Amino acid sequence: MQEGFTTTELIAGRGGSAGGLLIGAVSNMAGDSFKVLVPEVPFVDVMTTMLDETIPLTTSEWDEWGNPKNREDYNYMRSYSPYDNVEAKAYPHMYVTTGLNDPRVGYWEPAKWVARLRELKIDDNTLVLKTNMGAGHFGASGRFNQLRELAEGYAFIFSKLGVK
């Protein structure tokens, strides 16, 4: 933005799963730099998930994410965990997706995060939670259903950016 290639009013971010974690962290750390964010099946409740050894993928993920039983890892993970860092401030427009049958990121993570955002955010920007009741981690099955989901996300982005 400093180079003049874009402005806050014309920039959007989108990412899924761990990329959704990134978008969630961006919403807390630099949300004022974006007009629209689209976290898809976002891994946003890092601390709760990574502390629960009964979840099948948790302990095998410690090599990548860190083990929250280690104080240094815990503090680092806590510093970027989207759910744990929601504040009373303005957030960009957001279209958050999740799937009821997602074995990697439970639908409750985005739902819990969106509830916290709705409670604390101080703006009138749109905050949508779309739960696909028949989808898993990779969205709806079938080519046309996947394209429909992709189009919905882009339609949200374009509408908020003012693209006709």
Q: pTM score, two decimals?
A: 0.90
Q: How far is CA 34 from the centre of its chain?
A: 14
* Predicted local confidence at residue 77, as pLDDT: 94
3-state secondary structure 85-104: HCCCCCCCEEEEEEECCCCC
* Predicted local confidence at residue 156, as pLDDT: 97
| Residues with catalytic function | 17, 102, 137
Domains in the chain, start-ordered, CATH in brackets?
Answer: 8-45+81-161 (3.40.50.1820)
Q: What is the pLDDT along the chain (164 residues), one digit of tens a residue?
A: 678 888 899 999 999 788 899 999 999 999 999 999 999 888 898 898 889 888 777 778 888 889 999 999 999 999 999 999 999 999 999 999 887 666 567 777 899 999 999 999 999 999 999 987 456 555 565 577 778 888 999 999 999 999 98
Q: Which two tokens stand for residue 94?
A: 């957001």
